Amino acid sequence: MSSKRHADHHESMIDVEDALSKILAVFRPLSIQETSILETNGMVLAEDIISEIDIPPLDNSAMDGYAVKYENVENASSKTPKKLKVVGTTAAGELPYSTLLNNESIRIMTGAPIPTGANAVVPFEKTSDNFNNKNSNTTSEVQILTSSFVGQNVRKAGQDVKNGEVVLKSGSVLHPSHIALIASVGKATVKVFRRPQVAILATGNEITKPGNKLEQGRIYDSNSYGIASAVTEAGGLPLIVGIAKDNFDSIEKKL
């Protein structure tokens, strides 16, 4: 190439920033589709996700233990235990026990709803009952070996998510933790932008597709596969269109 032709060619080129601006200027948001949350990893959310429930839905126990009235065990200790009547057992998924009265307790499991009247949960490790007695499957009383405080080991309704709260904003790129959050508020499908399809074209007379015999003086195409993997990781759909020779006609034909 003569120096004049080289200069003309150089003057016709644009810098990277201008090229990127021209490319991005023709981009538009893709269409929106309702999609199962199982298929949305890496996709872009097209709606705000608003919870219609409290999480947790009810006050519930953060530990296995006994639901009590704090006032009944305020001064309890291993030396001066407080004896309470055990009036029932509640497990996770069950309805809350009826109102707890003074000097009563409920044997309660993690996640179980706190009965009306109770305001603390004392862990099993801080109590003494006869459940470890192999001859007994029930207990009518329990000794509380430690003091407590209002709200101890109690997860309040709406502590994690409140009814009406926006838990994810439109435009969020969805990852596994987001999908779990969407499921936790009861949504099985969401509106997302369609995944972009990205065509990848390798150019070069010396390029050979992996898997084919490599002739002397040639190299394997690695960039196409690296870029395709990056597209997948970013949430797109890669389309490797092949290898073009270093001439206009070959490139145009591939495109």
Q: Using CA atoms, how far apart are residues 128 and 46, in angstroms rounded to an integer?
A: 54
Tell me the CA distances in angstroms from 15 to 103, 189, 248, one per residue in order: 80, 43, 21
Residues contacting residue 32 through CB under 8 Å, at least 6 positions apart: 46, 191, 192, 193, 194
According to the model, what pLDDT value does residue 96 have? 81
User: CATH: 3.40.50.2000, 3.40.50.300, 2.170.190.11, 3.90.950.20. Which one for 60-155?
Assistant: 2.170.190.11
CB-based contact 100:162 (threshold 8 Å) = no
According to the model, what pLDDT value does residue 131 have? 54
- Give buried/exposed letters for 125-146 (b at 16+ CB in 10 A, else e): ebbebeeeeeeeeebeebebbb
Tell me the CA distances in angstroms from 205 to 171, 213, 223, 239, one per residue in order: 41, 15, 15, 21
Beta pairing, strands 32-36 & 189-193: antiparallel
Q: Using CA atoms, how far apart are residues 199 and 209, in angstroms rounded to an integer?
A: 16
> Which pLDDT tens digits describe the chain residue by residue (255 residues)?
444 444 444 556 789 999 899 988 988 889 999 999 999 999 999 999 999 999 999 999 999 999 999 999 999 999 999 999 999 999 999 988 789 999 999 999 999 999 999 999 999 999 997 654 444 445 589 999 999 999 999 999 999 999 999 999 999 999 999 999 999 999 999 999 999 999 999 999 999 999 999 999 999 999 999 999 999 998 899 999 999 998 888 888 888
According to the model, what pLDDT value does residue 249 have? 86
Geometric angle at alpha carbon 168, from 167 and 174, rounded to 5°: 135
What is the 8-class DSSP label of residue 82? E
Both tokens assigned to 39: 């298929």
